[in-house]
Amino acid sequence: MTDQPQRHPRTTIARHAYITKTPLWEQRDMLSRKNGPHATVYMVNGDRYLGEWFANKKQGNGTYFYNATGSLYEGEWHNDMRNGFGTFATPITEPPHNNSPTRSPHNNNAPTHLQTVPSSTIPATPRKRRRNPRAVYAGQWKDDNRDGRGTYFYEDGSWYEGLWKEDQKEGWGRMNYIDGSVYDGEWHKEMRHGQGVLLEPTGDRYEGMWLDDQKEGPGKYIYKSKRQMYEGEWSKGLPKCGTLVDLPPLPGQVPKKYPIPEIKLADPEAVLEHQREEIRDARMVRMMAAEQ
């Protein structure tokens, strides 16, 4: 018998596909990402951010300083964008306050008016201007746009409080104008659109429909000083078809000497309805043309 070579048993190594090893470069990249609260981080363009991070993106609460404009945002962030509640402010540039007397370049202890040095010989010294922050918008944000409920302050002193959509006034809101007028009603794409009330500084009041920032459709206008009320159709901001009546005098007021005369038409409502139809048809034509 010939000796048979002895065979060694084979060892089977099972390879599991679900066992993976993260590459070293990816491990180091994950460690380098910013997570949680951080001190001031400087951007390439000079902007600064102080706040919370997640996966190397601004997320949570933080303050962002815009270097080019001097503006700042303080509030909530999500996915590297302004999301949630926050306040945006821009600087107000004011000239420097200098109450000290002007002094001569030749004698720092004596005021200029005691010297005979021409003003043209005094070198101009550049002075920095003060930049104080002014709150511009406080409210809700979505993906870097004003979206939700918020208040916006304009440079002329007027301000708006209400709903926003994609950085525009959209929905119900109240606008306080610099001349004292107040509009409380619906908005669409930055314009008064829908049902709304306008109170003017004189006390006159309009209640009715709006279209593209103008009085359009049925509405009533109350003249406070005249104690009269117009009610009817409006077109392009002007009254077109309706009735004008006297209102009862206020306590202590004397009744009018010349009240509005009574209508003598046989069927005044039929006349008004005919005019209303013409106005509505013309409005429909304008609206359809605007959509094209």
Q: Provide, rounded to the nearest whole percent, the portion of the chain with pLDDT above 90.
A: 53
Within this chain, do residues 56 and 137 fall inside the same structural domain, yes or no?
yes
| Domain hosting residue 46, numbered range | 25-93+131-153
Q: Report the CATH number that the domain containing residue 31 is assigned in CATH.
A: 2.20.110
Domain presence at residue 255: yes
Query: Cα separation of 144 and 146, whole Å?
Result: 7
Q: Do 88 and 208 belong together in one domain?
A: no
pLDDT in tens, 169-207: 999 999 999 999 999 999 999 999 999 999 999 999 999
Query: Is pLDDT above 80 for 112?
Result: no
186 within a domain of the structure (yes/no): no
* Residue 117 domain flag: no
Say if 218 falls within a structural domain. Answer: yes
| Residue 29's pLDDT band (cuts 50, 70, 90) | low
Instruction: Domain count for the chain, please give it.
Output: 2
In a domain, 99, yes or no: no
My answer on whether 55 and 139 are in the same domain is yes
Q: What is the pLDDT of residues 99-111, one digit of tens each?
A: 333 323 333 333 3
Based on the domain organization, do 135 and 244 belong to the same domain?
no
SS3 assignment for the chain: CCCCCCCCCCCCCCCCCCCCCCCHHHHHHHHHCCCEEEEEEECCCCCEEEEEEECCEEEEEEEEECCCCCCEEEEEEECCEEEEEEEEEEEEEECCCCCCCCEECCEEEEEHHHCCCCHHHCCCCCCCCEEEEEEEEEEEEECCEEEEEEEEECCCCCEEEEEEECCEEEEEEEEECCCCCEEEEEEECCEEEEEEEEECCCCCEEEEEEECCEEEEEEEEEECCCCEEEEEEEECCEEEEEEEEECCCCCCCCCCCCCCCCCCCCCHHHHHHHHHHHHHHHHHHHHHHHHC
In tens, the pLDDT along 197-256 reads 999 999 999 999 999 999 999 999 999 989 999 999 999 999 999 999 999 988 888 888
Query: Is residue 287 domain-resident?
Result: yes
108 lies in a domain? Answer: no
17 lies in some domain: no
